[in-house]
Structure 1
Amino acid sequence: MRGSLKSLFAGAVALIAQPALAQPAPAPVPVNPAPVTTAASAVPIPVPAAPALTKADVDAWLDGYLPYALARGAVAGAVVVVVKDGQVLTQRGYGYSDVEKRTPVDPEKTMFRPGSVSKLFTWTAVMQLVQEGKLDLDADVNTYIDFKIPPRDGKPVTLRNIMTHTAGFEESIRGLISSKESGAPLGETLKRWVPHRIFAPGTTPAYSNYATALAGYIVERTSGMSFDDYIDRNIFARLGMEHSSFRQPLPEKLKPLMSKGYATAAGDPKPYEVIDAAPAGSLASTGADMGKFMIAHLANGGPLLSPETTNMMHTTTLSILPPLNRMALGFYEQRINGQTAIGHGGDTQWFHSDLMLFPKENVGIYISMNSSGKEGVTGAIRSTLVESFADRYFPMERIIKAGVDEKTTAEHARMLAGTYISSRRPESSFMKALDLAGGMKIAVDDKGNLVLPFKNTGGEDSKWVETAPFVWEEVGGHGRLAAKLKDGKVDWVSIDAISPIMMLQRPVWYASPGWLTPGVIAGLVILGLTALSWPIGAIARRRYGAQLPFAGKELKAFRLVRGFAAVVTLVLIGWVATLASMMSDFHLLGGAMDWAVYLLQIVGTIAFIGMVAVAAWNLLLVWTGRRGWFSKLWSILVLVAAVVILWAAFAFHLISFGVQF
């Protein structure tokens, strides 16, 4: 699925999973990068002659890049396919599909899981039915389904909203990926829980696997056949994609062709991943079959769609934050070197893929890897592959010139500085607490330059130049960043790599990780020390024969404060451990941790509220009694810590009851 959900816990919710924001790849410098001329350059640098896009040149280029990148990143195997002018230019397998058996990747026969690249097949199916007049992109989706999607701000969800990821749903995570035998029926999955609508439709990109699964269900109900049967008959059969399937488990004849999935190349193979929201990411396919799909879309739809429908699908874009990349109908846009490419990336827990079409050149490129590798390396490998491919074969001089004076640039940078959260996020459940990982922070250095929380491919801080008011471009790269203002203040920020599918937003002040995250950490330290003072003090008194100088209410308050402090500390540690476990192993998202969540919700509600009550009582007793200044100061700190933690527990739904998320 687009974006590893592990990133939801690792900070900057759902961002690390995006290719351009992954950890730096241990990859070579791109060959023939597009020259960049900055404002300081007196003479533009000429563009080097592009090599001919031939099989021999692409093979040599790929062989010089991928084996080293995969080995350094601990990725077991990969497949790459390049198509041009209606033909497969080259298809290459690298590494192993089964490390133990030393089975090499065969682009004709080895099946990979392209994750959310699967969505392009779902969107193609939707557009086929639109073409037949059976679906209307602008009709209320409730017209086509047997349950209710409530309106938001009086507006219904439409298929156009769904295909542009502006339906407004919060992130739905439960049961996303599991290792069970098969997926639940699609209708059952969708009716189990309808995610809350947190944005008005058509206003805010917020990537949604649930919404895509809903589109697949509409295909199912409208066509009168199962989603799997529809795709088999109307896409795979038409293209001769004999080694592809959305079915879970795989058909018996295809199972021997399936690559193993790995965390790293040296690790044990992982079970086949089952995705309940199947239309959003359950495809398994060979590189050769994916080449056929690319050729069809580049050929004005080929046997899948009419040229008119294909053109509408590829070029109907929604502009949310100009001039950044936009979302087309199912494809996301990537403008690079004068080319308007369209494509989609995808991730399961173990497989990581990208597909990009260059319609002007009638060229497409696809990569899929069967391992997560070290430090999120697959994101950098695939983004570097696509960008370097464009730099090599479609080079263009880029002149990055400051379009704003230094003083104004510094002021604009200061306006951007702060903490942001992703529009793609859980909002109504305890999973909102993932925002406490810190959100995404934009800072300003002492020279007034933006300091962004990601590196370039070489692992260095990226340098950005403001080329127009509130638009920055990356020097030496292809990234752009832009901000949207509201009432004279920065409201949204995004960058090209994610702008089609999500925005970075200023959180509401009362739920901002900018102050609540350090506040909770400080509170945890204070309450932890308070809890520890009880056994440590008891040991010290026993050793020196001292007596506890309290009795009556003061003794009871002494014990209650420390007891509740211990419970609150353990509950917070329990939440961290539970969320970390669930985000590190997606199979735990299907219900295996429900017992822990229920326990933490029950005990936590009592502990968080009780801590404030006993801390307030303790403060009253301390300040009306004959206690020293340190006791009085500490009683204040304990109450403040308890209030901040209670506030965070309410704001991030740790005080709640339920396991739908």
Structure 2
Amino acid sequence: MRIVHKIAFALAALAMPLAAQAPTQLQPKLTLAPKAATAAPAAAATPAGPATLTKSDVDAWLDGFVPYAIASGEIPGAVVVVVKDGQVLTQRGFGYADKKARLPVDPDRTLFRPGSTSKLFTWTAVMQQVQAGKLDLDRDINDYLDFKIPPAFGKPITLRNLMTHTAGFEETVKYLITSNPKILKALGPALKRWTPNRIFAPGEVPAYSNYGASLAGYIVERVSGEPFDTYIENHIFNPLGMKHSTFRQPLPAQFVKDMSKGYEPGSDDAKPYEMIPLSPAGALASTGTDMAKFMIAQLANGGPLLNPATAALMHTPQRSFIPGLPTMALGFYHEDRNGQTIVGHGGDTVYFHSDLHLYLDSNVGFFVSFNSPGKNGAAHIVRARMLEDFTDRYFPVTRTNLPTAATAKEHGAAMVGHYVSTRGAIHDWLKFIGVVSETTVALNPDNTITASSFVDAAGNPKKWREVGPWQWQQVGGNSRLHAAVKDGKVTAFLSDDLPQILLYTPAPASMNAAWLVPALIVALVIMLLTALGWPVIALVRRNYGYRAPLTGRALQLHRATRITAWLFLIIAAGWVWIVSSVDSNLEAFNGGMDIWMRVFQLLSLVAIVGMVLTCWNAYVAIKTPERRWTKYVWAVLVALAALFLVWLIITMKLLTVSLDY
């Protein structure tokens, strides 16, 4: 299971999706918080009463927080920028942009990779074209494309769907990130290579999509007549004076010397520059100073980028799928807390981890980026703590300790079960990764609940106490968890630790790990005993000169059953090896393991034939009266195990025509 959880973490890093406050993921359950409490920094003490949002106070707070956080989390460097009332309040570099050269982070010059925060530039470009009358948020996007998104669910996809991640696309990771420039294609060909399957009707379910964001960037390219990266330069970077920012890949030569290195935890070796083939989803490289200019423009009702009406529309909450929790705006997601209207976006590449938050009511912006995930994913918990502590320090509120609801036990029991993320895949092998790492909700003896995907700084599941109908408050914390309910049954839940870019929904029986994982273990144990029993018994018989009574067809079926058991074990080991290979080398996502996937799929086809022979062997065993009952009972168990494994291979999409995922 350790490998499964590691690949789930890798998928999250690749997909660059989550908010700063998000401690966990998406489709697979992820523990993004550090495993040890020591990796969570102790924040500088908040003074009695509200602190004054001044440069000196923010600097004092940062000095008491960030150096310890990055040191204990083994993060080489970070940049932090705070803006207020149209000016940079403070901008700070911490640690190193290059560890070996001992080059410090400089907010003015050092470029970081904001990851999915790049999407805010894509969405701003879309809104510029809406403002110009060239795009309509509610028109079929096929009207703007030179290829067609295949029809599904009888509803067209709109730009509003793309901007709220409700287009219904399933998760994709292939060719999402690379260090090999040969993999890069122009945006149009990259999008046309493969269109992901749609698993939800447009507008009905949030499911974060990098492909959808990139479609939006391509639409801007199409209607403007300018390549996407050129458009961003001409219409966002240049008007704002962002001279140290680029979407171009590979990184242009003039920026190379100022680009921060990216690091794996505990390593002094810099990693290659990460490139995003679907560039509008996360290819930005920028300095803290330049990101400040973008924040100031957004806070100034669009500044030189958008008119006030368009900027207000962009920040307006859209449809909410979980009552009472902050929802998506157009591209931004709401992070409202402490009475403040806050919009923002997080971003992750493999090595860089960032967040941007805009306090719209107070004309304040906050950006942070780290050049490593840190030990046990420390960067994620540091980001979460920075948002929480900054908000509590400068916009404090008095919290009421609400009593536990009388329905706590009843509603807690209704929540119990296994849940899958709507941001996932059901048409390829990633489906199985999602199943074995599902989120589980449990009811505790004190009628609180735990949801395994949401953990505290020590890596322990948070406890939640119901304080209102289907509304839970974190015990000893400020997070909330709400559920959507229909006819008394939970249909989805989410915590405000995550934006509404995904939901957790009850796992259907065919994807419920509560029985699938134990059944898989039992089936593989049966196959292991069957496979090992063949050579062991053969050696015993040879030693004692014993000849088995089986002959002819019965003997052939007996041997076919043993061969089939070995096949299933090889297939299982092969997929474990594929997953572990991807974990150690993410370039394997870009087709490097395709040949081996085909090998194990071919073996799966042979195993299906073997399953038929195994069932035939069980039939013969039952019909042979001289056999001991243990013989035919075992033959039946082996046949049932083979049937289950074939069903699992097919259901979990380990056997597919396409190798797109």
TM-score range, shorter chain: over 0.9
Structure 1 pair 10–629 and aligned structure 2 pair: CA distance change class (3 A): farther
Return the letter of the residue paired with 2:339. Answer: G
Partners of 1:524 and 1:648 in 2: CA distance: 12
2:439 is matched with 440
Q: Is the 8 A contact 1:14 1:424 kept in 2?
A: no
Cα deviation 1:225-258 (Å, max 9, x = unaligned): 1001000010000111111000001111111111
Query: Kindly tell me: are residues 270 and 8 of structure 1, through their superposed partners in 2, closer, same or farther at Cα, counting changes over 3 Å?
Result: closer
8 A contact 1:11–1:437 mirrored in 2: no
Q: Which residue of 1 aligns with 2:411?
A: 412
Q: Whole-Å Cα distance in 2 between the matches of residues 499 and 635 of structure 1? A: 51
Q: How does 1:479-518 map to 2 (within 5 A)?
A: 479-518=479-518
Measure how far apart 1:642 and its partner are: 1.3
Offset at 1:5?
9.7
Does residue 411 of structure 2 align to residue 393 of structure 1? no
Gaps of 5+ in 1: 34-46
Aligned to 2:28: none
Partner residue of 1:20 out of 14, 20, 23: 23
> Which 10-residue stretch deviates more, 102-111 or 508-517?
508-517
* TM alignment of 1:28-67, pairs within 5 A: 28-32=41-45, 48-67=48-67
The answer on 1:330 being equivalent to 2:343 is no
- In the alignment, the residues of structure 2 paired with residue 585 and residue 330 of structure 1 have an alpha-carbon distance, to the nearest angstrom, of 31
Q: Where in structure 2 are the equivalents of 1:338-487 lying within 5 Å? A: 338-402=339-403, 404-405=405-406, 408-453=407-452, 454-487=454-487
Q: What letter corresponds to residue 102 of structure 2 in structure 1?
A: R
Task: Return the letter of the residue paired with 1:622.
Answer: A
Distance 2:123 2:11 in 1: 30
Moved runs in structure 1, 4+ residues, more than 4 A? 8-18
Once the two structures are overlaid, the 10-residue window that deviates more, 563-572 or 266-275, is 266-275
Q: CA deviation at 1:80?
A: 0.7
Aligned to 2:193: 192
Following the alignment from structure 1 to structure 2, what is the Cα–Cα distance between the partners of residues 474 and 373? 26
Alignment match, 2:99? 99
Deviation at 1:435, TM superposition (A): 2.0
On the 8 A contact 1:9/1:579 being kept in 2, the answer is no
Structure 2 CA distance for aligned equivalents of residues 180 and 94 of structure 1: 30
How many Å apart are 1:555 and its aligned residue?
Answer: 1.8
Show CA shifts across 1:332-360 (max 9, x none). 11122121211000000111111111111
Deviation at 1:520, TM superposition (A): 1.4
Q: TM-score, normalised by structure 1?
A: 0.93
Distance in 2 (CA, whole Å) between partners of 1:490 and 1:60 is 45
1:248-287 aligned within 5 A? 248-287=249-288
Letter in 2 for 1:97: A
1:546-602 Cα distance to aligned partner (Å, 9 max, x none) = 334422222212211111111111101211221332255331111111101111112
The alignment partner of 2:640 has SS state of: helix
What is the Cα deviation at residue 648 of structure 1? Answer: 1.4
Change (3 A) 1:210 1:103: same
**Number of the residue aligned with 1:614:** 613
Letter matched to residue 373 of structure 2: S
Distance 1:56 1:450, change over 3 A: same
- Partner-residue secondary structure (3-state), 2:129: helix
1:145 counterpart residue number: 145
Shift of residue 428, structure 1, vs aligned partner: 1.3
Q: Distance in 2 between matches of 1:120 and 1:574?
A: 40
Asked if 1:660 is matched to 2:643, the reply is no
Structure 1's 308 and 251: CA in aligned 2 closer, same or farther, altered over 3 A? same
Alignment partner, residue 307 of structure 1: 308
Aligned to 1:586: 586
Letter in 1 for 2:417: G
Could you say which residue in structure 2 is the equivalent of 1:223? Answer: 224
The verdict on how the C-alpha distance between 1:554 and 1:316 changes in structure 2, with shifts beyond 3 A counting, is same
In the aligned structure 2, how far is the partner of 1:54 from the partner of 1:31? 16
Deviation at 1:12, TM superposition (A): 14
Cα gap change, 1:155 to 1:76, in 2 (>3 Å): same
Residue of structure 2 in register with 1:39 after alignment: none
Cα deviation 1:345-389 (Å, max 9, x = unaligned): 000011111111111111111111111212121110111111111
Q: Give the secondary structure class of the aligned counterpart of 2:599.
A: helix
1:493, CA displacement in angstroms? 1.4
Counterpart residue number, 1:296: 297
Say if 1:476 and 1:403 are closer, same or farther in 2 by CA, change over 3 A.
closer
Equivalent residue letter for 1:433: F
Partner SS for 2:477 = coil
> 2:126–2:216: 8 Å Cα contact kept in structure 1?
yes
Answer whether contact 1:439 1:513 (CA < 8 A) is retained: yes
Whole-Å separation in 1 of the counterparts to 2:352 and 2:324? 31
Q: CA deviation at 1:634?
A: 1.8
Alpha-carbon shift at residue 460 of structure 1 (Å): 4.1
Does the CA contact (< 8 Å) of 2:14 and 2:173 recur in 1? Answer: no
Matched position secondary structure for 2:335: strand
Per the alignment, residue 235 of structure 1 pairs with 236
- Shifted more, 438-447 versus 286-295: the winner is 438-447
1:611 Cα deviation (Å)?
3.6
Q: 1:11 to 1:209 in 2, by over 3 A?
A: closer
Residue 498 of structure 1 deviates from its aligned partner by 2.4
For these two proteins, the number of residue pairs brought into alignment is 642
CA distance in 2, matches of 1:585, 1:68: 30
Other structure's SS at 1:339 match:
coil
Q: Matched residues in 1 for 2:153 and 2:639: separation?
A: 40
C-alpha distance in 2, partners of 1:316/1:17?
18
Deviates more, 1:303-312 or 1:525-534: 525-534
Residue in structure 2 matched with residue 575 of structure 1 by the alignment: 575
- How far 1:617 sits from its partner (Å)? 1.4
Which segment is superposed worse, 260-269 or 122-131? 260-269
> Counterpart of 1:395 in structure 2: which amino acid?
P
Residues 9 and 602 (structure 1 numbering): CA distance in 2 closer, same or farther, change over 3 Å? farther
CA distance in 2, matches of 1:441, 1:11: 19
| Contact residue 164 and residue 328 of structure 2 kept, 8 A | yes
| Native 8 Å contact 1:470 1:482 kept in 2 | yes
Give the share of equivalent positions with the same residue, in percent: 47
Distance 1:616 1:639 in 2: 5
**What is the match of residue 547 of structure 2?**
547
- Contact 2:13/2:348 (<8 A) preserved: no
- CA 1:9 to 1:603, structure 2 compared with 1: closer, same or farther past 3 Å? farther
Sort the Cα spacing of 1:52 and 1:380 in 2 relative to 1 into closer, same or farther, 3 A: same
- 575 and 460 in structure 1: CA distance in 2 versus 1, 3 angstrom threshold: closer
Aligned counterpart, 1:132: 132
Secondary structure at the aligned position of 1:399 is classed as coil
